[in-house]
Amino acid sequence: MDDSTAPRHRRPAYRPGDEMDVGGESPDPAQLSEIAHETAAVLVGAGRASTDPEVRRRLIHLVDELGFSTVAELWAGRPATSLPGALWRLYTLREWVQRDPVGASADYDAGVRHADVAHAVAGPAEPFGPTEIKDLGDAILRGVFEGDLAVALDRAAAFCLVISTGRAHRADDRDGHDELGAESATRSASALLTTATDLQRCAALWRDDKLD
pLDDT at 13: 35
> Which residue did the predictor score with more confidence, 133 or 173?
133
Window from 14-28, 110-124, 132-146, 187-201 with minimum mean pLDDT = 14-28
In a domain, 3, yes or no: no
pLDDT at 126: 81
In a domain, 66, yes or no: yes
**Mean pLDDT computed over every residue of the chain:** 86
Averaged pLDDT for residues 17-43: 72
pLDDT at 101: 96
In a domain, 164, yes or no: yes
Number of structural domains (the chain) is: 1
In a domain, 120, yes or no: yes
Side chain identity at residue 62, one-letter code: L
In a domain, 8, yes or no: no
pLDDT at 27: 66
In a domain, 6, yes or no: no
Task: Give the domain extent around 92.
Answer: 17-207
Q: Specify the pTM.
A: 0.83
Alpha helices in the chain (DSSP H): 29-49, 53-60, 62-66, 68-75, 83-99, 101-112, 116-122, 130-146, 149-174, 179-207
In a domain, 7, yes or no: no
In a domain, 132, yes or no: yes
pLDDT at 89: 97
